[in-house]
Amino acid sequence: MATEEILNALANAVVEGDDDLAEEFAQKALDEGVDAYEAIVDGLAKGMNIVSDQYEKGEAFVPSLLLAADAMYAGMEILTPYMKVDASGGPQNVIIGTVEGDVHDIGKNLVKTMITAAGYNAIDLGVDVPLGKFIEAAKENKAAAISMSTLMTTTMGGMEKVVEQLQEEGIRDSLVVMVGGAPISREFAESIGADGTARDASGAVETLSSLISSLPADAWNDSAVVASKMKYKEILAKKDTKEEIDIGLITAEKILAEYDSVVPKFNETMTKKERFVAAFQDKKVDRLPVAPLICGLSRKFVPCTYADYSTKAEKYAASVVAGTKYFNIDNFVGLTDLCVVASDFGTTIRIPEEDTPAATGHLEDYEAMEVPEIKEGTRAYNLIQGNKLATEKSKEIDAPVTALFEGPMVALTQIMGATRVLSDLKTNPEVVLKGLEKTTEYCKEMAKMMFEEAQPDNLCLVTLWTNNVILSADEYMKTEGKAMQNIFAPLYKEYNKPMVIHSCADAPHWDLIKKWDTKYYSYTFYPEQVNKGSKDHRYLIENYGKDVMFGGEVSPVTFMDNSPENIEKIRNDTIALQESVLNTLKENGMQSKYVISTGCEVPPRGPCDTVATQTYTVAQKGPELFKKIIG
Ligand code: B12
């Protein structure tokens, strides 16, 4: 076989995600004397690039990428031992990981795959990586680069701390620092002193390679370290060493103190429940409803810790009522975390005070999954009791409560790990479907108990795997989609409740979701096609607004900065969004069926006054805007 043919066969094996073929042709390459490095870069990695391109164009989804990566690794295992070690002592080391507080790993794994495919030695520290570990690993391995990922705005700050520690240690200039993940922009990368970023895994490796190529050969020698320490000493000294303060608590206290003199004066002629129900039916309202997802943040009014909010029914209920009242929102969405089911199935959960809880220790085998009984002591039981209490107490302030928990597919990925479940979907779908049956059984029981015991005004299921990038509509329908259609939609009907969906992401696969007769859809809007983007209120209302009430669009991150300039910006943006929504509703022959919301939880460490700026602005300006535009 000619070299060209072998290289093509290797690329094809990766595109097809075929481990056996990748191994076969890797061996063939060695047998026929093809250089191992060439076989990796011009064969396996080329295949990975093809799939990556298809993914970028929306022609392939995450499971195909993961499968291709598996095939690539299978081929590499055979070829790597035969790679010629160059004079500098072998491939350069790149430390890679998702920063502390964040457990998203799909993107990080793809970046690792591409970095490996480009011939680097990727040292993967995993997810939720303590910041100091990046430094330790870099020193230990005299790394050429550190590649940090984060998908959450709440954890972006950790990247800057790593850069600072590198400066302190005098090794900042010894290596390249790359940062990435959906919320990371070029400006952010520059502002924290990183060297580069990129939108996707192929871009990541391109930038990385070009930056590494300009590192000096003696980057790690002692004199370079001493010089670097001196260089950054001054910069570090100028940095703000502000004491950590609990901005949530301080701003909550300010709102509590001002509440009686501000909120009762708003010109509101409907109760929260009346307004929400009327908007749901597109009837006349005094103003549009407003309901940002201020789940954990509301605990600052109680006050209590996030762990208490998340795991103690009375604290949860107290937070729901206080949040609804003091933020003056029209509907509380009760997101505690997406690990309730996983926790009951035996997965280890980390509940930090400043971030949303995360599932960390996954189960070894799908077979180890046993459907628990919902009884006292389980997280499910606690959440049901919490919503029961919250619903009773919220009646006193005439406000609706929307209980929320994760749908069966999110539950399964939390139990077994998302990357694993998504690749198993391609290679071993039966085990995934069996696991899904178990989480479906549990979620169904939980939903029934919510309807019967807690009786919240609405029950919302989180179905984030419907989002634009992870699964195609077909793939989704073979998994959770089937359960949504055949089990959950009929269950909602049986209890005469509207289907409420929170996607945690964009608003895609709509034709699919419509089939379940969804009545309320909470979504997040990504501008500028970040992560394939999503549609805005104009598109959603025009195309589907009559069938469903949408809520979302406002980025929860806007609420993190409570500088006077940003408070002013929130005020202006809130007015502009209401005007645009009202005009869009009017143009489409409607009047009120939309909720000003975030579609994603406001980070629980944020300030409260930014949120109140939005909700109070809606209460203050909403009636006048409604009259002017709708009449
Ligand atoms: C899947 C997902 C989950 C899964 C994650 C499973 C897993 N093991 O990874 C689960 C269900 C566990 C989850 C949990 C949560 N999630 Co989530 N999740 C998502 C979702 C839908 C997709 C992320 C994803 O995998 N994308 C696909 C991959 C391929 O893309 P990517 O990660 O962006 O990576 C690419 C690029 O960014 C880039 N890249 C990545 N790393 C690097 C590094 C470098 C150096 C470079 C250059 C480039 C680069 O290349 C990659 C490949 O092309 C996003 C929404 C979205 N559309 O992004 C929300 C999202 C990230 N989640 C979000 C939230 C809020 C959460 C939770 C807090 C929810 C909750 N309240 O419990 C928890 C987080 C818990 C924790 N502490 O970590 C928010 C974050 C918002 C914010 N304020 O920051 C998002 C944006 C959704 C939203 N509504 O806005 N989530």
- Do 94 and 76 lie in a common domain? no
Residue-wise pLDDT for 349-361, tens only, equals 988 887 788 888 7
Q: Which atom of ligand 1 is nearest to the CA of 128?
A: 78
Residues 178-193 pLDDT 10s: 999 987 888 889 989 9
621 within domain boundaries: yes
Tell me the CA–centroid distance for residue 62 and ligand 1, in Å.
13
Rounded-to-integer distance, Cα 252 and Cα 565, Å: 20
**38 and 126 co-located in one domain:** no
In this predicted structure, what is the pLDDT of residue 183? 79
Mean confidence (pLDDT) of the chain: 90
Domain boundary among 62, 84, 106: 84
Say which residues have a Cβ less than 8 Å from residue 280's Cβ, sequence separation at least 6: 498, 519, 520, 549, 593
Provide the domain count of the chain.
3
Residue 404 pLDDT > 90, yes or no? yes
Residue 189: domain span: 86-236
Can you give the three-state secondary structure of 101-131, one letter per residue? CCCCCHHHHHHHHHHHHCCCEEEECCCCECH
- Give the CATH number for residue 501: 3.20.20.210
C-beta of 104 in contact with ligand 1 (< 6 A) = yes
Q: Is 425 in the pocket of ligand 1 (CB under 6 A)?
A: no
User: What is the position in ligand 1's atom list of the atom closest to the CA of 357?
Assistant: 77
Residue 538, domain member (yes or no): yes
Q: What is the pLDDT of residues 220-247, one digit of tens each?
A: 888 888 888 888 887 777 776 666 789 9
- Spacing, Cα 339 to ligand 1 middle (Å): 15
323 within a domain of the structure (yes/no): yes
Kindly report, residue by residue over 459-472, the tens digit of the pLDDT: 999 988 876 678 88
The CA distance from 526 to 536, in Å, is 8
Mutation pick for ligand 1 pocket among 98, 109, 151, 153 (CB with most ligand atoms within 8 Å): 151
Same domain, 259 and 207: no
Judged against a pLDDT cut of 50, whether residue 87 lies above it is answered with: no
Query: What pLDDT is recorded for position 107?
Result: 85
Work out the average pLDDT over 491-510. 84
Ligand 1 centre from 270 Cα, in Å? 38
Predicted pLDDT at 456: 98
How far is ligand 1, taken at its centre, from the CA of residue 149, in Å?
A: 10
**H-run or E-run covering 523:** strand 518-523
- pLDDT value for 467: 67
pLDDT at 301 over 60: yes
**Is 242 a member of any domain?**
no
Please check the confidence at residue 82 and state whether its pLDDT lies above 90.
no
Specify the residue with its C-alpha closest to ligand 1, atom 44.
180
User: Can you give the pLDDT at residue 217?
Assistant: 80
- The residue-averaged pLDDT of 9-14 equals 95
429: CB partners within 8 A, 6+ apart: 478
pLDDT at 357: 85
Q: What is the DSSP string of 220-242?
A: TSHHHHHHHHHHHHHHHHHS--P
Q: Nearest C-alpha to atom 81 of ligand 1 is from which residue? A: 152
Residue 198 in contact with ligand 1 by CB distance below 6 A: yes
Residues 100 and 78 occupy one common structural domain:
no
pLDDT digits (tens, 9 = 90+) for 582-618: 999 999 999 999 999 997 888 888 899 999 999 999 9
Q: Residue 455 has which token pair?
A: 């009786």
Prediction pTM value:
0.88
Q: Report whether 94 contacts 143 (CB < 8 A).
A: yes
Q: Is the CB of 111 under 6 A from ligand 1?
A: yes
